[in-house]
Amino acid sequence: MEKWQDQRAWLLVMPVVLLVAFNALIPLMTVVNYSVQDIFDSTHRVFVGTEWFREMLHNDRLHAALLRQFIFSGLVLLIELPLGVAIALTIPRRSGWGTSATLVLVALPLLIPWNVIGTIWVIFLRPDIGLLGHFIDSTLGIHFDYPTVPSQAWLSVMMMEVWHWTPLVVLLAYAGLRSIPDAYYQAASIDGASRWSVFLYIQLPKMRSVLTIAILLRFMDSFLIYTEPFVLTGGGPGDSTTFLSIYLVKMALGQFDVGRAAAFSIIYFLIVLAFSYVFYQVLLRAGRGEAR
Partner 1 sequence: MARIEFKDIQHSYFAEPSRPKDYALQPMHMAWRDGGAYALLGPSGSGKTTLLNIISGLLRPSGGAVLFDGKNVTDLTPVERNIAQVFQFPVIYDTMTVFDNLAFPLRNRRVPAAEVRARVTEVAEMLELTDDLKRRAAGLAADAKQKVSLGRGLVRSDVAAILFDEPLTVIDPHLKWRLRRKLKEIHKRYKLTLIYVTHDQGEALTFADRVVVMHEGRVLQEGTPQELFEAPQHRFVGYFIGSPGMNFLPCRLSADGAEVAGQHLPLARHLLAQAPAGQALEIGVRPEAIDFAAAGAAGLSVAVRDVEDLGTRKVATCQLGDLKLKVVVPPEQPIPAERGTVTFNAELTRLYADGQLVG
Which residues of this protein are in contact with partner 1, per CB under 8 A? Answer: 181, 183-184, 186-187, 189-194, 197, 201-202, 205-206, 289-292
CB distance 99 to 91 below 8 Å = yes
* Phi, psi of 125, deg, nearest 5: -95, 0
Cβ contacts of 108 within 8 Å, gap of 6 or more = 167
Q: Indicate the residue among 8 and 292 with the shorter CB distance to partner 1.
A: 292
Min dist. Cβ of residue 179 to partner 1 (A)? 13
Amino acid letter, residue 269: F
* Kind plus residue range of the DSSP H or E element containing 38: strand 37-39
Residue number with CB closer to partner 1 (46 or 200): 200
Helices 208-223 and 60-90 pack at an angle, to 10 degrees, of: 150
Task: Tell me the C-alpha distance between 83 and 66, whole Å.
Answer: 25
C-alpha to C-alpha distance for 28 and 17, rounded to whole angstroms: 15
Geometric angle at alpha carbon 104, from 99 and 108, rounded to 5°? 150
Question: What is the smallest separation between the CB atom of 204 and partner 1, expressed in angstroms?
Answer: 8
State the minimum distance, in angstroms, from the CB of residue 171 to partner 1. Answer: 23
Between 60 and 182, CB nearer to partner 1: 182
Report in angstroms how near the CB of residue 193 gets to partner 1 at its nearest.
6
CA 251 to chain CA centroid, nearest Å: 22
Cβ proximity to partner 1: between 129 and 291 the closer is 291
Q: In this complex, which beta carbon is closest to partner 1, that of residue 204 or of residue 249?
A: 204
- For residue 98, the minimal CB distance to partner 1 (Å) is 15
CB of 174 to partner 1, least distance (A): 20
Contact 206, 176 (CB under 8 A): yes
Residue closer to partner 1 (CB basis): 95 or 191: 191
